[in-house]
Chains A and B, each alone.
Chain A
Amino acid sequence: MSNEQDSVSDILEDNTYKYGFTTDVESETFAKGLNEDVIRAISKKKEEPQFMLDFRLKAFAKWKTMKEPEWPNVHYPKIDFQNISYYSAPKQKKKLQSLDEVDPEVMRTFEKLGIPLDEQKKLANVAVDAVFDSVSVATTHKKKLMEVGIIFCPISEALKEYPELVEEYLGTVVPVGDNYYAALNSAVFTDGSFVYIPPDTISPMEISTYFRINTEETGQFERTLIICAENSYVSYLEGCTAPQFDTNQLHAAVVELVTMENAEIKYSTVQNWYAGDKETGKGGIYNFVTKRGKCQGDNSKISWTQVETGSAITWKYPSCILQGDNTTGEFYSVALTNGHMQADTGTKMIHLGKNTRSSIISKGISADYSSNSYRGQVKVGKNASNARNYSQCDSMLVGDKCSAHTFPYIETANSSVQVEHEAATSKISEEQLFYFESRGISRENAIEAVISGFCKEVFKQLPMEFAVEAQKLLTLKLEDSVG
């Protein structure tokens, strides 16, 4: 049928990366290259306390002795770390008194991305920290959160206002020399979000950070630290986009979460970095991220939910250290790869305390020429009696040129543990979509139904509006890959 062709190409038209624009703002960008002087300059620029500079230098020394990991199932040319600028910030007055002083172009950028920041338009029930290249440009609802004692601010600000809190926790979950990219991040990170939820506090709204890379040859190294004190709860969201460039940008973030007794952190990510050209694979973000949470207090819980739809390469394993007794770690993931994307993602669940529980639900969708790997480790220490883990890793293939891989590792040093692993592979086929169409259901709705059916267990973990967004995003990305 000739009409079929037209409709597919129509869809293709609509389907280009809609966040691929660049904003023309006057930026202050460091010359390319990395050495101790650059690190000192970053620290000075940010007027950091001494301990922070020491932390950075220690990390840098460590990094120089380390090698890029070669074990992930991803392939890319070697990164020239001297060809990246480690600091870029929109030029602004010394200290922002109000949002009016933020470059209007930057404000417009976020508005275009669906994240209005100014007082009139800001989202009512979500507090947002907006990070543009290397710096946080605006944080909404700060005052309202402060009324209940919640600290939510850029980490650079936290270093000035609450240095003792940052010093106490920074690097305690992800040590400076944890891995190659974490070490690099520890040396050069420029901004990110800081959240502290005081004891006995349920955050009255969702807290979120929105990351935007704008400059072509800048790396984004953000650092997020969330501390949830006794009997407290917070739900945190993270979103990301970047313009479309032919070159690759490096994004090496570190996120650390800490929960005290009876506390819970729910961390959700919808990642939609530019993935490179669909046909040629040129450009796109290298998303090399270390995310880890520590359930320090008994009965605490950390839950990671991620919907990964972008980036040329994703290397990311949000993990939980279940240190306290009766603690719970959860990992819910949907990773979509299409075009020439490569993803190696999964989780680590480290059971140290007694009666610790973890569950892993991973859904990989691969289309076109992409490669999608799940890599997960469940490790049970000798004192973790009655630890339990359940893992389920499902893959869905779209077309016949993509690949899906599963690498589960299980290590237990305690005989009273129960570990279960299930895996399944399925396909979304032209025949399935035709079946829907022959019942009068549009192709778009058909893909949405099949994908949301496949990802059901993960989507239901996301906050409502995020879930709807995520579903639409996946459908859009897959529409021209099916068939």
Chain B
Amino acid sequence: MLEIKDLHAGFDGNEIVKGISLTINKGEIHAVMGPNGSGKSTLAKILSGHPSYEATSGEILFEGKNLLEMEAEKRSLAGIFMGFQYPVEVPGVNNAEFLRMAHNARRVSAGEEEIDPLDFDDLLSEKMKTLGMEKKYKERNLNDGFSGGEKKKNEILQMAILEPKLSILDETDSGLDIDALRVVAEGVNKLRTENNALILITHYQRLLDYIKPDFVHVLSNGKIVKSGDKALALELESQGYDWVTTAN
């Protein structure tokens, strides 16, 4: 589904990702771990198409298409979802309206009619029920005045509405207390199917207690220095990042 080949990237001329290669197939969950500054966030930004970040060399193919040539909007429409570490607040724009715009953008791009607003409301209610989310998420403005945990839950709600093929969750666990973490993780688990894939970008392994990865990759200084299964994350937890970063 996603193929990253020898990717070099950064921003403002600083190279932060220094040659990453990674292949992700449908149905898989990959965890990308690493200390601060290892290039995790840059990788996430590059995948999402953030305009401030630039890939200097290498290639990313998503379902065979050159991802780096696609605008953020097109990437989303192609089925990529980015769960942001710091979702931005947009006062004045109702959350439910925003979700409907996003849902309709998908439909229009697939050549379908826009959804009837009442039908969308039903769809939204159903998704919110599945995720155990309160009614306030419909009424409030987009992330406006949301707590850290509420913002992350709202990202998962968007993911549920958009039904992406590939989701990248950037530090979704940061700033969450244990209850919020459980809700978010359960939500993500409910959205899993054998056809979609997930990249979890995280500093700590605690998220992986709730969402079980098939593969764990450790990033250091812009490169994957070790790959393994779930056991690798636990080993990192007990030994610290020095264990892999210095061993290399």
User: Residues of A with Cβ closer than 8 Å to B?
Assistant: 1, 3-4, 7, 426, 429-432, 434-443, 445, 449-450, 452-454, 456
Which of B29-37, B89-97, B116-124, B179-187 lies on the face that meets chain A? B89-97
A1, A449, A454: which contacts B49 (Cβ < 8 A)?
A1
B73 contacts A450, CB within 8 Å?
Answer: no
> Inside 8 A of A432's CB, which chain B residues have their CB?
88, 90
Residue ID in chain A nearest B69 by CB atoms: A3
> Inside 8 A of A456's CB, which chain B residues have their CB?
92
B102 contacts A440, CB within 8 Å?
Answer: yes
Supposing A449-B97, A453-B141 touch, asked if A435 and B90 sit within 8 A by C-beta, the answer is yes
Q: Which of A432, A439, A453 has the most CB of B within 10 A?
A: A439
Which of B15-23, B76-84, B126-134, B214-222 lies on the face that meets chain A? B76-84
B69 contacts A442, CB within 8 Å?
Answer: no
A440 contacts B71, CB within 8 Å?
Answer: no
A434 contacts B51, CB within 8 Å?
Answer: yes
B162 within 8 A of A: yes
Residue ID in chain A nearest B68 by CB atoms: A1
Supposing A440-B105, A449-B101 touch, asked if A3 and B71 sit within 8 A by C-beta, the answer is yes
Supposing A430-B51, A449-B98 touch, asked if A440 and B162 sit within 8 A by C-beta, the answer is yes
B75, B88, B105, B106: which contacts A431 (Cβ < 8 A)?
B88
Complex Cα–Cα for A445 and B100 (A): 12
State the Cβ distance, A8 to closest chain B Cβ, in Å. Answer: 10
B175 within 8 A of A: no
Complex Cα–Cα for A1 and B48 (A): 12
Residue ID in chain A nearest B94 by CB atoms: A453
Interface of A is mostly: helix
B198 within 8 A of A: no
> Inside 8 A of A1's CB, which chain B residues have their CB?
49, 51, 54, 71
A431, A440, A452: which contacts B109 (Cβ < 8 A)?
A440
B50, B91, B105, B158: which contacts A453 (Cβ < 8 A)?
B91
B160 within 8 A of A: no
> Inside 8 A of B75's CB, which chain A residues have their CB?
438
B93 contacts A453, CB within 8 Å?
Answer: yes
B87 within 8 A of A: yes
> Inside 8 A of B73's CB, which chain A residues have their CB?
437-438, 440-443
B90 contacts A437, CB within 8 Å?
Answer: no
> Inside 8 A of A434's CB, which chain B residues have their CB?
50-51, 72, 88
Complex Cα–Cα for A434 and B76 (A): 11
Chain B interface size band reads: 20 to 34
Supposing A437-B72, A439-B76, A445-B101 touch, asked if A453 and B49 sit within 8 A by C-beta, the answer is no
State the Cβ distance, B162 to closest chain A Cβ, in Å. Answer: 7
> Inside 8 A of A431's CB, which chain B residues have their CB?
88
Shortest 7 CB-CB contacts between residues of A and residues of B: A453-B92, A440-B76, A439-B102, A440-B105, A437-B72, A453-B93, A437-B73
Supposing A1-B49, A434-B50 touch, asked if A441 and B102 sit within 8 A by C-beta, the answer is yes
**Pairs across A and B, CB under 8 Å, 13 listed:** A1-B51, A7-B71, A437-B71, A437-B72, A438-B72, A438-B76, A439-B162, A440-B102, A440-B162, A441-B101, A443-B73, A445-B105, A449-B98
Complex Cα–Cα for A446 and B109 (A): 16
State the Cβ distance, A445 to closest chain B Cβ, in Å. Answer: 6
Complex Cα–Cα for A439 and B154 (A): 13
Q: Which of B54, B75, B92 has the most CB of A within 10 A?
A: B92
> Inside 8 A of A7's CB, which chain B residues have their CB?
71
A442, A450, A452: which contacts B105 (Cβ < 8 A)?
A442
B51, B71, B94, B158: which contacts A439 (Cβ < 8 A)?
B158
Residue ID in chain B nearest A442 by CB atoms: B73
State the Cβ distance, A106 to closest chain B Cβ, in Å. Answer: 41
Complex Cα–Cα for A4 and B51 (A): 8
Give per-residue flags for B136-151: 1 if the beta carbon is below 8 A from chain A beta carbons, else 0.
Answer: 0000010000000000
Complex Cα–Cα for A439 and B105 (A): 8
Complex Cα–Cα for A436 and B76 (A): 10
> Inside 8 A of B72's CB, which chain A residues have their CB?
434, 437-438
> Inside 8 A of B106's CB, which chain A residues have their CB?
440
Complex Cα–Cα for A437 and B91 (A): 17
B49 contacts A450, CB within 8 Å?
Answer: no
> Inside 8 A of B102's CB, which chain A residues have their CB?
439-441
> Inside 8 A of B105's CB, which chain A residues have their CB?
439-442, 445
Complex Cα–Cα for A454 and B94 (A): 11
B91 contacts A426, CB within 8 Å?
Answer: yes
> Inside 8 A of B48's CB, which chain A residues have their CB?
438
> Inside 8 A of B77's CB, which chain A residues have their CB?
440
A450 contacts B76, CB within 8 Å?
Answer: no
State the Cβ distance, A273 to closest chain B Cβ, in Å. Answer: 27
Complex Cα–Cα for A287 and B167 (A): 52
Give per-residue flags for B42-60: 1 if the beta carbon is below 8 A from chain A beta carbons, else 0.
Answer: 0000001111001000000
State the Cβ distance, A62 to closest chain B Cβ, in Å. Answer: 45
Q: Which of A438, A443, A449 has the most CB of B within 10 A?
A: A438
Supposing A4-B51, A437-B73 touch, asked if A450 and B93 sit within 8 A by C-beta, the answer is yes
Complex Cα–Cα for A4 and B74 (A): 12
A438 contacts B49, CB within 8 Å?
Answer: yes
State the Cβ distance, A368 to closest chain B Cβ, in Å. Answer: 20
State the Cβ distance, B122 to closest chain A Cβ, in Å. Answer: 20
Supposing A1-B51, A449-B98 touch, asked if A435 and B71 sit within 8 A by C-beta, the answer is no
Give per-residue flags for B166-183: 1 if the beta carbon is below 8 A from chain A beta carbons, else 0.
Answer: 000000000000000000
Q: Which of B48, B71, B72 has the most CB of A within 10 A?
A: B72
A437 contacts B93, CB within 8 Å?
Answer: no
State the Cβ distance, B12 to closest chain A Cβ, in Å. Answer: 14
State the Cβ distance, A203 to closest chain B Cβ, in Å. Answer: 32
Supposing A1-B51, A439-B105 touch, asked if A429 and B76 sit within 8 A by C-beta, the answer is no
